[in-house]
Amino acid sequence: MVKLVLMHKPDSVYEDELDTVYDFPRRYLKAVTEAVGDWVVYFEPVKAGTLGYFAVAKIAEVVPKPGAEGRFLALVEPGTFLNFDQPVPRQVDGRMMETSLVGEDGRPLRGGLTQSAVRRLPDADFARIVNRGLPQDLEAREARRYAIESRELAEDIAPFERPVLERLTRRPFREVAFRRRVREAYDYCCALSGLQLRNGGGRPEVQAAHIRPVERQGSDSVRKGLALSSTLHWMFDRGLISVAEDCRTILLSENKVPRDVADRLIVPDRKLRLPSDRRDWPHPANLRWHRENVFGQHLPDDPPLWG
């Protein structure tokens, strides 16, 4: 097995859906096949955006792309994709994050390997990139971010030094990383109410909701989440509210949600409030899954919702 850097360009002819599949040509087949069972780092070149290294995932399988001669798909192991808390530039403090991109004279290489869409990545380079993109004290940072009590508690406890791979598979760590990125993407506003509420300590009241739960083949991609207030999060999970096929129109279970309740909770135009960056917009496939598997599924013998 071998770790890789996989280049992604949003406007590419290759049809990537990074938390589930990476589309690539035959010339990279050997390298990607060697990476099956191991981790990859996604990289977006500066000319295509401003991300740099921006996420990790684990490759589960490589298969030919149906109907596309000479193209292959790297299938991502479910539940492994994770956006970085902050993108990592290719060069930090004058030092290249990938040692293979440094020439014998110590200077960054130009052209050649730097333009390759698939590059092998030594374990040490992988750890360095991940440690910068997903700091191991991320949970402590989140704990002391707003509340004085949490800050004091976090300062008393030194973060446990966990190996990179253990950290990437720990559910509590992944939940914190997902929450931070989703709330930031939506500018700490609820996508359904449009409100940006904070408590007395400045902590955002908005939560990060999985459109499709990880345990039901969802993922921790920002595109697979919504920023929602606690009440609307509860309603979304209960199937009382969803999003239409146009990925904008808010749907309500009219026979279960009184009109006056909806008028108080939902934006008047019934249109989803989306992130400023289109790359973070909710994925249509997961919204469709929610409509088909959750919306309107409230059981009739459940206790009354509104008293």
Q: Is the residue at 104 inside a domain? A: yes
Residue 155's domain comprises 136-169
pLDDT for 111: 74
Residues 104 and 222 in one domain: no
Determine the average pLDDT of the residues in 218-225: 94
My answer on whether 102 and 188 are in the same domain is no
Which class for 46: exposed (0-12), middle (13-18), buried (19 or more C-beta within 10 A)?
A: exposed
Mean residue pLDDT across the chain: 87
Whether pLDDT at 151 is above 60: no
Residue 93 has pLDDT above 90, yes or no: no
pLDDT in tens, 24-54: 999 999 999 999 999 999 999 876 455 799 9
State which of 83, 117, 133 marks the end of a domain. 133
Q: pLDDT band at 200, cuts 50/70/90?
A: low
Between 92 and 146, the higher pLDDT residue: 92
Do 182 and 124 have their domain in common? no
pLDDT of residue 48: 47
Decide if 302 is inside a domain: no
Tell which wins on pLDDT, 224 or 109: 224
Question: Are 22 and 91 part of one and the same domain?
Answer: yes
pTM of the full predicted structure? 0.86
**pLDDT tens, residue by residue, 242-289:** 999 999 999 998 788 888 888 999 999 999 999 999 989 999 999 999
Residue bearing the bigger pLDDT, 108 or 74 = 74
At residue 257, the pLDDT reads 85
Average pLDDT over residues 157-165: 61
Query: What's residue 307's pLDDT?
Result: 54
**Do 180 and 146 form a contact (C-beta atoms < 8 A)?**
no
Does a structural domain hold residue 305?
A: no
Residues 182, 147 share a domain: no
Tokens of 273: 């409030």
Q: Residue 11's pLDDT is what? A: 82
Clarify whether residues 230 and 208 are in a common domain: yes
> Which residue is it, tokens 């598997």?
293
- Cα 67-71-73 angle, rounded to 5 deg: 95
Q: Is the pLDDT of residue 300 over 90?
A: no
Q: Indicate whether 44 and 119 sit together in one domain.
A: yes
Confidence of residue 104 (pLDDT cuts 50, 70, 90): confident
Q: Can you give the CATH number for the domain in which 71 is found?
A: 3.10.590.10
Contact 71, 21 (CB under 8 A): no
Element spanning 58, H or E? strand 52-64
Predicted confidence band of residue 201 (pLDDT cuts 50, 70, 90): low
Residue 229 has pLDDT above 70, yes or no: yes
Give the number of domains in the chain.
3
DSSP state letters, 263-295: HHHS-TT-BPPPPSSGGGSPPHHHHHHHHHHTT
Q: Tell me what the mean pLDDT of segment 295-304 comes to.
A: 63
Whether residue 18 is found in the same domain as residue 117: yes
301 lies in a domain?
no
- Residue range 133-139: mean pLDDT, rounded: 91
The answer to whether position 160 is within a domain reads yes
Is residue 162 domain-shared with residue 181, that is, in the same domain? Answer: no
Which residues, other chains included, contact 269 with Cβ-Cβ below 8 Å and sequence gap of 6+?
none
pLDDT score, position 157 = 45
Same domain for 110 and 29?
A: yes
* Secondary structure (DSSP) of 163-232: -HHHHHH-HHHHHHHHHHHHHHHTTT--TTT----B-TTS-B--EEEESS-GGGT--B-GGGEEEE-HHH
In a domain, 300, yes or no: no
Dihedral in degrees, nearest 10, Cα atoms 192, 267, 305, 199: 70
In a domain, 144, yes or no: yes
Domain boundary among 169, 192, 220: 169
Q: Are residues 41 and 77 in the same domain?
A: yes
Q: Please tell me whether residues 175 and 273 are part of one structural domain.
A: yes
306 is a domain residue: no
Question: How much of the chain is in helix, strand and coil states, percent to nearest 5?
Answer: 35, 25, 45
